[in-house]
Structure 1
């Protein structure tokens, strides 16, 4: 979902934009536990490969020294590229099971979430570069006008 918030003032129109991704990463159960076969087994394998690729991206982002972030390794990481290492605020919710027989999956989820929380993004307002340049020029004109009026001894009304 893309969001556009249009603010209008007498001098300009300002359109910050945003994106909202809602992703359910459930489905990483151990294949031996589920007893899946055929098409369900192939689907579970693909899900687990995507989650593994996501784990690799998260690890590369957390380390910070990595020159290459493997976003292209899966469709999932490609879709979440902006959310993971881009100009965003990201919230990840980890769901755990209190059942004893899900201990390994819950522990794995907690490790995953612990790595993910270490990602450092620096969000800023998304703005069309042309609008940003126009805004900067308007601010510069305002400063110069105040400087000239100040030198001439005229107050700005």
Structure 2
């Protein structure tokens, strides 16, 4: 039984790939907005963008899982081979989706680099305002390492 014997699976596959393509385009736009917000240090906008990015990534994951289920239902081998065996422009749609995924990955890495440099700048600024030789106010655990021993307030 081949995927060609199931026109409804081919239609579902095409709809899935189109939905993934549309979602990937939206995600790429969100990441471009994120970069602008990072450069402007717009925290409120970043919070909104993070929520949108999370939703888009979740939808892509759901669509990806559905794609794998369609492949299993068609008893297909590799995804690339399956798309080539189908018609309706699916190989081109798959290639477009792979290209968008690469652009999303690159945009995400660029934003991570920008975020890392902002973090380093912030840490450097905080160190400049702290008097020399004083410890950081809070350690990695979130507690102040002041070196004070615990006090006993009373005993009965």
Q: TM-score, normalised by structure 1?
A: 0.33
Q: Greater relative contact order (Cα 8 A, min sep 6): structure 1 or 2?
A: 2
Give the structure with the higher percent strand: 1
> Which of the pair is proportionally richer in helix?
2
